[in-house]
Chain A
Amino acid sequence: MATDVLMGFDEALERYEPVLGFEVHVELSTATKMFSSAPNPAAAGAESAQPNTMVAPVDMGLPGALPVVNAQAVRYSISLGLALGCSIAPSSRFARKNYFYPDLGKNYQISQFDEPIAFEGSVEVELEDGSQLTVPIERAHMEEDAGKLTHVGGATGRIQGADHSLVDYNRAGVPLVEIVTKPIYGAEHRAPEIAKAYVATIRDIVRSLGISEARMERGNLRCDANVSLRPRGQQALGTRTETKNVNSLRSVERAVRYEIQRQAAILAAGGSITQETRHWHEDTGTTSAGRPKSDADDYRYFPEPDLLPVRPAPELIEELRAALPESPAVFRRRLQADYGFSDSEFRDIVNAGVLAELQETIAEGAAPAQARKWWLGEILRIANARGVDAGSLVSPLHVSELIALTENGDLTDRLARQVLEHVVAGEGSPEHVVAARGLKVVSDDTALIAAIDAALAGQPDVLQKIRDGKVQAAGAVIGAVMKAMRGQADAARVRELVLERASA
């Protein structure tokens, strides 16, 4: 892969104004698919399934199979549209987007084109310093997801070099809402941060609505980031690129920064930007050219003849509007008060992107301070070291379990960190890891006393010192005992017992 020439970020911003735009795809967590009654792999709590076992004839595009709209998916879409401040269309319709690619068996995707269900809204995005920015929303429309292709034969699993592909249609037909922003001006040097904050806000909104699992690493929430630059003082927009499928908040930020620097270098050298899709590579932190705009983008949209228009009753819209949860910003302020965090403590949590995880951990029974300590401490450390989002490493349930194990004395902090490493490595729940690896604190006094007696017998001089009242000498014995217990003992309890045995 050719290495792109990059211009320094500050210099790029001095010479050019970045204009952003985002398309975020949200997989809805309904029980069934958009147009068929097959189970939805993106449903709340769905387990991973064998390939091609969550498929109905409609999802395969079998002849004669007819789509029927999922009422719940429509409700979820309306709720999302309302939460984005959009108007809900009294009548919207589906359209066929025609293309040939084996990720859909029908050779078209059912989407919405000229009559989306929701349009013209805006979202308040909170930036790291607490300031607010309004992102204008163009539309939110309903569509179906496509199947999953695995490219075989290429060295890297990427498309280039593959000699054939394998297709799993489980994801085909999963209900999606695609949220499209209008061009975002005035982002300036905060463009990468705004990109991340916008996607995080959408994630928070869909989570608070309870309409999507919203796990980016599982593809429940996918972002395509559009970036263009225009020279300072120029009115016309520059040519944009669309970076596809950026699958973590951190990557959204990095991808936007990269595209600004790459495009600036090309423009400054007198070149021009090709309008194309680009692929984000998580491993190298770069984008590479995908497909240029071409004939293949002639999707020949036309109204879907198999489906009638969606005309939600005004009463339904009002019912859903009344049931909307408070906005993420209001909700955060309430949470902060409930949890008793200071402004800066709370902002650290939000900026680390672990608020939802923290909240679920607390809901599972952990104390707020403990939950904060783990998510901003050890878990974030591992996440940063690996360059992934903290939420993808471990579930809130497991973190609360880990905290409970430390609180009831089964684990010391040191042991708990070890257990966490194993949980992150996929060895199961903390309780399971503790049992399987025998990592529990030895709280059985008999075992401790045996180790203490052995240690005291081995260090008669120390024993004498303790008996002479030099209590600090006990440290050597405690150390020996902790070593004998492979660290799996509570040092305070060992100390108590050492003093007790020494004076016995």
Chain B
Amino acid sequence: MPDAPAVITVADVQHLAGLSRIALSAEEVEHLAGELTQIVESVRRVQQVVTPDVPATSHPLPLEGAPRPDVVGLVLTQEQVLSGAPAARDGRFVVPAILGEEQ
């Protein structure tokens, strides 16, 4: 709906912050809601001048990916992989128990 007014509410920002695991203060939420509304509004205005014969695009250039041959290359050692781990055991990362589940 390109003509609907674009508003990012405080609730939207809180929802997104929760999904992104970002802690925000009430002032920050307020501030971001205003900023994001402005950004979305700007995009909406651009969309208004787009005619139906302009295809949507996710990349500005009509390039296609250059694939890689299926040949084994760089591999890290277990030591390298775990070098940044706050905790490791039995060659694996130790993470807090997550009360979710695999996606």
Contact = CB atoms under 8 A, between A and B. Distances in A.
Interface string A41-64: 000000000111111110010000
Contacts of A68: 65-68
Contact of A164 (B16, B75, B95): B95
A60 B81 contact: yes
B102 A70 contact: no
Nearest to A168: B92
Nearest to B79: A52
A446 to B, nearest CB: 53
A165 B72 contact: no
28 contacts: A30-B70, A38-B73, A38-B76, A51-B78, A52-B76, A53-B75, A54-B75, A56-B73, A56-B74, A56-B76, A57-B74, A71-B70, A91-B64, A100-B21, A101-B98, A101-B100, A102-B95, A146-B102, A149-B102, A163-B97, A166-B89, A167-B92, A291-B100, A291-B101, A300-B16, A308-B65, A309-B64, A310-B67
B51 interface: no
Nearest to B72: A39
B77 interface: yes
A100 B78 CA distance: 23
Contacts of B19: 98, 100, 295-296, 298, 300
Contacts of B103: 97, 99, 101, 103, 109, 146
B81 A93 contact: no
B71 A32 contact: yes
Contacts of B75: 38-39, 53-56
Majority-rule SS of B interface residues: loop
Given A146-B102, A153-B97, A163-B97, 15 more contacts: A37-B68, A38-B72, A52-B76, A52-B91, A53-B77, A53-B91, A71-B69, A165-B97, A166-B89, A166-B90, A167-B95, A277-B101, A290-B101, A291-B101, A295-B19
Nearest to A104: B103
Interface in A147-167: 149-151, 153, 159, 162-167
Nearest to A102: B95
B64 A162 contact: no
Contacts of A280: none
B96 to A, nearest CB: 6
Contacts of B15: 295, 298
Contacts of B25: none
A109 B71 CA distance: 23
Contacts of A311: 64-65
B2 interface: no
Given A68-B67, A163-B97, A55 B102 contact: no
A51 B96 CA distance: 18
B65 A309 contact: yes
Interface in B42-94: 58-59, 63-78, 81-82, 89-94
Contacts of B71: 31-32, 37
Interface string A407-419: 0000000000000
A178 to B, nearest CB: 12
Contacts of A149: 95, 102
A228 to B, nearest CB: 21
B58 A303 contact: yes
B1 interface: no
B99 interface: yes
Given A31-B71, A37-B68, A57 B76 contact: yes
